[in-house]
């Protein structure tokens, strides 16, 4: 026993076009470069999106662990003025008669001198 699927009832599509049947619906989809998705397609797309989201989250967490593991917490500057003056005097002594340091070199020198002062 065969079953004939009836034609679509007239409806208005999301972009406002009035659709009168299956043929017009197929033409509308083709003209607007659209694809009709079924329930299985949507579930597959959702699961693929969830997988990509999980993978991205894991990658971010892995990178955070790597960066945090390599990065040392800088020691705070001394609170009292004499200690600050000693620190900057030591830094100035180390940099005397040298080319202007890069920012990275300057930070390294300051951190090394802070460690010596503590």
Shared domain check, 4 and 32: yes
Across the range 10-17, mean pLDDT stands at 91
pLDDT tens digits for 18-47? 999 999 999 999 999 988 888 888 888 889
- Per-residue confidence (pLDDT) for residue 91, from 0 to 100: 85
pLDDT tens digits for 71-100? 555 556 566 777 777 888 888 888 888 888
pLDDT tens digits for 40-68? 888 888 899 999 999 998 888 887 777 76
Shared domain check, 43 and 32: no
Which pair of structure tokens corresponds to residue 52? 């990509």
Residue 109, number of CB atoms within 10 A of its CB? 17
C-alpha pair distances (Å), 64 with each of 19, 53, 69, 72, 77: 52, 16, 8, 13, 26
Shared domain check, 110 and 95: yes
Shared domain check, 28 and 56: no
Q: Which of 91, 69, 95 is nearest to 78 (CA)?
A: 91
Are 29 and 18 contacting, i.e. CB atoms less than 8 angstroms apart?
no
The number of folded domains in the chain is: 3
**What backbone phi and psi angles, to 5 degrees, belong to 97?**
60, 25
- Per-residue confidence (pLDDT) for residue 50, from 0 to 100: 92
Q: 12: domain range?
A: 1-36
In a domain? residue 76: no
In a domain? residue 1: yes
């Amino acid at each position: 026993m065969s079953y004939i699927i009836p034609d679509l009832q007239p409806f208005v599509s999301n972009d406002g076009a009035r659709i009168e049947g299956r043929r017009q619906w197929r033409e509308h989809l083709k003209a607007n470069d659209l694809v009709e998705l079924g329930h299985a397609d949507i579930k597959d797309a959702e699961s693929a999106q969830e997988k990509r989201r999980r993978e991205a989250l894991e990658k971010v967490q892995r990178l955070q662990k790597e960066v945090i593991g390599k990065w040392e917490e800088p020691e705070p500057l001394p609170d009292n003025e004499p200690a600050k003056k000693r620190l900057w005097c030591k830094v100035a002594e180390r940099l005397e008669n040298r080319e202007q340091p890069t920012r990275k070199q300057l930070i390294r020198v300051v951190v090394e001198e802070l460690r010596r002062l503590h």
